[in-house]
Amino acid sequence: MAGNIEAAKKSDIDKWPPLEKTPYHVGIIMDGNGRWAKSKRLPRAAGHKQGAENLRQILESSVDFGIKILTIYAFSTENWNRPKAEVRGLMNLFDYYFGRELNELHKNGVQLRHIGQMAGIKPGMQDKIRRAVEETRNNQRLILNVAFNYGGRAEIVNAVRAIIKDGVLPEQVTDDLISQYLYTGGLPDPDLIIRTSGEFRISNFLIWQSAYAEYYITPTYWPNFNKDALYKALKAYSERNRRYGRVDQD
Ligand code: FPP
């Protein structure tokens, strides 16, 4: 048995050799569920279901590769404008995730957080989200931020309102202060943003936080974005040279 485990570990290391640098915080725009379904002549709902299924292996793989924070774009403030039946299907999936799947997440040491506006989410779902966040708050293996009813501009607007309400003086407003007032307050900014399905857009996702993030775009549809694909993204990141506006030192 032990030999088997070692053999498995060794083949893992051959397959996914340790990288020189691993991003601490990764954001993912999980795009392409609809096109994946279409390519298989399935309804869009089947694409979302497969997308949700895929999340499980990406969570596990993220832990394996040493990622500490994963922020996923699950539902934007604009996604309410999709056909009613599709929105309903997506809500059922989230309901399942924040409900029954929660035990699994909890057992695996995942700390669930919600980023986005609570207002606009059905009260029953709000309760589920609060409970999931509360129950997993001490878990340390991976922080999973679920961007749900999320919009980056709305996040900044909320922050500015709260800053004004708190009576902060103009000269006290700094980059750091604004960061603290965002939904992600207290967490480091994302190092890497991955977008699947080949679109070169940020779509209102973490627009403040990703000012210095590296971007990685792959044509792979989200339901097909597996552990190998994640490794490829991390490898590309590890080969990048982040300069934060500075020049290289020789
Ligand atoms: C984009 O694909 C995907 C979404 C709008 C929803 C993302 C949701 C999931 C992956 C479901 C599971 C998530 C959780 C947290 C349970 P698209 O419909 O825009 O695809 P298309 O651009 O090909 O039409």
Question: Which CATH number characterizes residue 102's domain?
Answer: 3.40.1180.10
Task: Please tell me the distance from the alpha carbon of residue 80 to that of residue 94, in angstroms, as a whole number.
Answer: 14
Q: Is residue 243 part of a domain?
A: no
Q: Is residue 228 part of a domain?
A: yes
- Binding-site residues, ligand 1, Cβ < 6 A: 30-35, 48, 51-52, 55, 74, 79, 93-94, 97, 146, 197, 222
- Provide φ and ψ at 121, rounded to 5°: -90, 140
Q: How far is the CA of 45 from the centre of ligand 1 (A)?
A: 9
State the total domains in the chain: 1
Q: Whose CA is nearest to atom 1 of ligand 1?
A: 31
Q: What is the pLDDT of residues 8-61, one digit of tens each?
A: 677 888 899 999 999 999 999 999 999 999 999 999 999 999 999 999 999 999
Q: Which of 28, 29, 33 to mutate to test the pocket of ligand 1 (most atoms within 8 A of CB)?
A: 33
For ligand 1, what atom is nearest to the CA of residue 86? 18
Q: Is residue 20 part of a domain?
A: no
Q: Is residue 210 part of a domain?
A: yes
Q: Give SS3 for 200.
A: coil
Give every residue of the chain whose pLDDT is below 50, as ranges.
Answer: 1
- The stretches of 70-122 forming alpha helices (DSSP H) are 84-98, 102-107
Residue 196's pLDDT is 98
Residue 1's pLDDT is 46
206: nearest Cα among 189, 194, 221: 189
Q: Is residue 108 part of a domain?
A: yes
Q: Is residue 63 part of a domain?
A: yes
The range of the structural domain enclosing residue 47 comes to 42-238
Q: Is residue 97 part of a domain?
A: yes
Q: Is residue 15 part of a domain?
A: no
Per-residue b or e along 37-76, where b marks 16 or more CB atoms closer than 10 Å to that residue's CB: beeeeeebbbbbbbbbebbeebbebbbebebbbbbbbbbb
